[in-house]
Amino acid sequence: MPQGDYIELHRKRHGYRPDFFERKRKKDAREVHKRSAFAQKALGIKGKMFAKKRYAEKATMKKTLAMHSERTNRHKIDQVEEGAVPAYLLDREETSRAKVLSNTIKQKRKEKAGKWEVPLPKVRPIAQDEMFRVIRSGKRKTKQWKRMVTKATFVGAGFTRKPPKYERFIRPMGLRFTKAHVTHPELKCTFNLEMIGVKKNPNGPMYTSLGVITKGTVIEVNVSELGLVTPAGKVVWGKYAQVTNNPENDGCINAVLLV
């Protein structure tokens, strides 16, 4: 029920101003100059934001121009199709069942050995005084045997603290995480999955046992949501993922699923 058509109504009844079109044309022509003046004079955050916006505009403009000129472009047809095989190999089969089996066995052996192919093979070593903070205790605050973990941790569902008098490592509640944002590397989508445990922390076995999560840690996540099924027909509900960010700086754990 638009009642804002009074403008059109007026135009229908009385027409345009005598100089309307000329003024409009001139105003639009001036817009270009105004915009460029602004772009040149704007300083500070305003200037940066405008520059960013303008850059995005220009990029899309360039793309569309390139698209439009696609017709006149010439392409070399030099590519080879995926899976194309030279003539002398045509008769052979690519992989046989035996090969598949042997690959599975090799993987199992690797698993046993604890060697993994992970997205982040090397991580920055973290020193102990970066990881732990000394907590003074005692009547005169002279005892310094307690430590507080300063990184993100995972403690598990049934976790109960040791009596405060005896606990050496304090894992504060504010830094305990239960969920991780896990990305599937092939599907390229991210899921918010619950963690089951910390498998290995590259900085040392002590950190693994404490459950500290830093960049490069391998964690186990609950993937029952994804509905993955083994070739045998069993439902997969836990998979490993490697952490790719610094959780204490971002407030969340981002990981990549290890397939």
Partner 1 sequence: MVLYNFKKITVVPSGKDFVDIVLSRTQRQTPTVVHKGYSISRIRQFYMRKVKFTQQTFHDKLSTILEEFPRLDEVHPFYGDLMNVLYDKDHYKLALGQLNTARNLIEKICKDYVRLLKYGDSLYRCKQLKKAALGRMCTVMKRVGPSLAYLEQVRQHMARLPSIDPNTRTILICGYPNVGKSSFINKITRADVEVQPYAFTTKSLFVGHTDYKYLRWQVIDTPGILDHPLEDRNTIEMLSITALAHLRAAVLFFIDLSGSCGYSIAQQAALFKSIKPLFANKPLIIVCNKTDLQPLETLAEDERQIIQELKKEASKCAAGQLINAVPDDDDGCLLTMSTMTEEGVIAVKNAACERLLQQRVEVKMKSKKISDCLNRIHVAMPRPRDTKERPPCIPQAVIEARAKSNANRERKLEKDLENEHGGAGVYSVNMHKHYLLAVEDWKEDVVPEIIDGHNIADFVDVDILQRLDELEREEDALAEAALANDDEDMSEEELSPEEMQALAVIRRKKKKLLEEHRLKKTTADSRPIVPRRHDKDREYTSSRMGRHLVSMGLDPSAALNRVRSRSASRRGRKRERSTIGEDDADAMDIDQPSKRLRARSRSRSQSRALTEAIPGEGFKDTAQKQKAVKLAQKASKKRNKNARRGEGDRVIVNLKPKHLFSGKRSIGKTDRR
Using CB under 8 A, pick the residue from 30, 145, 250, 259 that binds partner 1: 250
- CA angle 157/258/130 to nearest 5° reads 60
Minimum distance from CB of 227 to partner 1 (Å)? Answer: 25
Minimum distance from CB of 143 to partner 1 (Å)? Answer: 21
Using CB under 8 A, pick the residue from 35, 99, 133, 143 that binds partner 1: 133
4 forms part of the interface with partner 1 (CB under 8 A): yes
Stretch that binds partner 1, among 28-36, 83-91, 153-161, 171-179 (CB under 8 A): 171-179
Using CB under 8 A, pick the residue from 15, 18, 125, 174 that binds partner 1: 174
Minimum distance from CB of 45 to partner 1 (Å)? Answer: 7
- 250-254: long-range contacts, CB 8 A cutoff, minimum separation 24: 252/177, 252/180, 252/181, 253/152, 253/177, 253/179, 253/180, 253/181, 253/195, 253/213, 253/219, 254/180, 254/181, 254/183, 254/190
**Alpha carbons 197 and 159: distance in angstroms, whole number:** 12
183 forms part of the interface with partner 1 (CB under 8 A): no
Of the candidates 198, 155, 195, the residue with the CA atom closest to the CA atom of residue 179: 195
194 forms part of the interface with partner 1 (CB under 8 A): no
Q: By C-beta, is 195 or 223 nearer to partner 1?
A: 195
Please say whether the beta carbons of 152 and 210 come within 8 A.
no
Using CB under 8 A, pick the residue from 39, 49, 51, 65 that binds partner 1: 49
Of the candidates 240, 233, 235, 234, the residue with the CA atom closest to the CA atom of residue 256: 240
Using CB under 8 A, pick the residue from 47, 116, 118, 150 that binds partner 1: 150
Burial zone of 220 (CB within 10 Å; 0-12 exposed, 13-18 middle, 19+ buried): middle
Stretch that binds partner 1, among 59-67, 86-94, 167-175, 230-238 (CB under 8 A): 167-175
Query: How do 143-149 and 212-213 pair as beta strands?
Result: unpaired
Minimum distance from CB of 80 to partner 1 (Å)? Answer: 42
252 forms part of the interface with partner 1 (CB under 8 A): yes
113 forms part of the interface with partner 1 (CB under 8 A): no
Burial zone of 18 (CB within 10 Å; 0-12 exposed, 13-18 middle, 19+ buried): exposed
111 forms part of the interface with partner 1 (CB under 8 A): no
1 forms part of the interface with partner 1 (CB under 8 A): yes
Q: Is 166 helix (H, G, I), strand (E, B) or coil?
A: coil
Using CB under 8 A, pick the residue from 126, 131, 175, 210 that binds partner 1: 175
Please say whether the beta carbons of 217 and 243 come within 8 A.
yes
Cβ partners under 8 Å of residue 150, min gap 6: 130, 131, 132, 133, 175, 248
Q: By C-beta, is 10 or 58 nearer to partner 1?
A: 10
Q: By C-beta, is 2 or 163 nearer to partner 1?
A: 2
Residues at the site binding partner 1, with contacts judged by CB under 8 A: 1-4, 9, 45, 49, 133, 150, 172, 174-175, 246, 248-252
